[in-house]
Amino acid sequence: MGKITNEMAHTSYEVGKNIYHNKISRLNGLKILTDLGMNNSSANYYIYNYAYFITGKLFTGTISAYATEYYLQKILEDKGNEGLETALLALSQHLDYYEEKTKRSVKKRRNVYDKYYELLENNIIEPIYADEVDSNGTYSEGKTKQVLINSYERNPIARKKCIEHFGLNCQVCDFNFENKFGVLGKDFIHVHHKIDIATVGKEYSVNPITDLIPVCPNCHSMLHKKKPNAYTISELKQIISEKY
């Protein structure tokens, strides 16, 4: 990838935005960027990354730290905190994917993530987890996949979006921590990743609504009693109903 200037990054954001909203074609957008001096491959990365930021999906193509920060700032201006949350969900998945694939740290882009995450911190409750999944286990594609599954369950933005959809009651036993413990239990719940480890590819992108679900720590532990693939929510509910 050649040198990407600030002007290219600014134009890429607008081009990606216009393509996403069907105001211009992808081919016309590519031409605008290649006329600025970007190669075709880089132009594609920068165009598509706008859509990934907006939808919260994993992206695998790398853009510069400057462009990353510029995209986040513009999305914050355009779509507010909710848009920034979604963009940071996409970025966090990309950083985990890239560091695992290359075995290299991405310090500058991590710093960008941290800077913008701090803007949201007061609105996001950090999860508290024990190690529900055995860290020594090895599955179909090794321990890396297991670590990534846990990272989805612990991702504070993915967790927030999941809870906003489902609420704070355990989706297995209906336990609510605030009802039981008062202020101490306010906003507390675990989030469980429902997708079987064996079916998750390296470029998997988490969907907080379809892939995650709130559960209490007890039910979370029981879901993971079945290995290598956890019990489903319906299976655990059935076990409870048969008991009582």
**Which residues in the chain land under pLDDT 70?**
1-2, 124-150, 197-199, 201
Global pTM reads 0.81
Residue 174 backbone class (left: φ over 0; alpha: ψ -120 to 50; beta: rest) = left
Neighbours of 210 (CB within 10 A): 11
What proportion of the chain, given as a percentage, has pLDDT over 90?
Answer: 69
**214: phi then psi, degrees, rounded to nearest 5:** -75, 135
Q: Do 168 and 218 touch, CB atoms closer than 8 A?
A: no
Q: Do 231 and 202 touch, CB atoms closer than 8 A?
A: no
Question: What confidence score (pLDDT) does residue 227 get?
Answer: 81
Task: Please give the structure tokens belonging to residue 138.
Answer: 């090895």
| 62-74 tens-digit pLDDT | 899 999 999 999 9
To the nearest 10°, the Cα dihedral for 129, 158, 69, 46?
130
Domain spans, the chain:
6-123, 143-243
Q: Please state, in angstroms and rounded to a whole number, the distance separating the CA atoms of residues 171 and 220.
A: 10
Question: What confidence score (pLDDT) does residue 64 get?
Answer: 93
The residues, ordered by sequence, that sit 6+ positions from 244 with a Cβ below 8 Å of its Cβ are none
Question: What confidence score (pLDDT) does residue 203 get?
Answer: 80
- Identify whether 228 is preceded by a cis peptide bond (ω within 30 of 0): yes
Please report, in angstroms and rounded to a whole number, the separation of the first and last CA atoms in the chain: 62
Question: What confidence score (pLDDT) does residue 195 get?
Answer: 83
Question: What confidence score (pLDDT) does residue 144 get?
Answer: 44
Residues belonging to the chain: 244
CA atoms lying within 13 Å on the CB side of residue 147: 11
